[in-house]
Amino acid sequence: MDEKIIAGNFKSNFNRKETISYLNKLNHIKTNHKIFIFPAISSIVENNFNNITLGAQNCYFAQNGAFTGEITLKHLEEFEINTIIIGHSERRNLFLESDDICAKKFHFFKEQKFCIFYCIGESLEIRNSNKELEFLKKQLEVIDLNYKNLIIAYEPIWAIGTGVNAELNQIKDCISYLKTLSKAPIIYGGSVNEDNAKDILKITDGILVGNASLNINKFNHIIKEGK
């Protein structure tokens, strides 16, 4: 199998000690794939691992300033972090980040030459109305689809953290459509686990793994499934 992007999003799990222990174990895993880990913000450590790229789950679009409760570019620079997730559905839904906010973040971190995982995905209501492709296109219209360090993460909202995965033909149809809009790698996220990763990796450029990434044995299995 060709080189794939395999990313783990720890969300608000693992403290710093647990994160370091996990990363030290993962760093010994040999693979030809590109491995990314997004720890909880307070658990970010120096990005000095051989086989892993660390990224931020979120960051405000400023060098520094009066943004209570947020971190800014200055905090990421301390740890040499230059990879970020923007537009994850939990940021959009729980913290009300609009397409406009996501676009501002994108353009700021584009200027910093970050590797950007830009997340998009439809709700079950939109899926049932057969308007998912139109919706996905609209979500992408606010960013530069030719940005060389862009990775598009397709994550149908109804399949994130629910244990329900989109069917392979549904994933393939959306991935194929997105590839007509951008030459960026298109990865999939949404209840990816050790049982379905192999099939999903066959039809995508990679995967963004949530809950299953918290168990290093499961995540290692997922990485090996990509061989």
Catalytically annotated residue among 88, 90, 132, 225:
88
**Catalytic residue of the set 90, 97, 155, 225:** 155
Residue 33 appears among annotated catalytic residues: no
Q: Which residues contact 15 (CB under 8 A, 6 or more apart)?
A: 40, 42, 43
The Cα–Cα gap between 219 and 168 comes to 20
88 is catalytic: yes
**DSSP β-ladder status, 115-120 and 83-86:** parallel
- Tokens 């520094």, residue located: 64
Contacts of the segment 158-165: beta carbons below 8 A, 24+ positions apart: 158/122, 158/123, 158/124, 158/127, 159/190, 159/191, 160/89, 160/90, 160/121, 160/189, 160/190, 160/191, 160/210, 161/191, 161/210, 161/211, 162/191, 163/191, 164/191, 165/190, 165/191, 165/192, 165/196
Positions marked catalytic: 88, 155
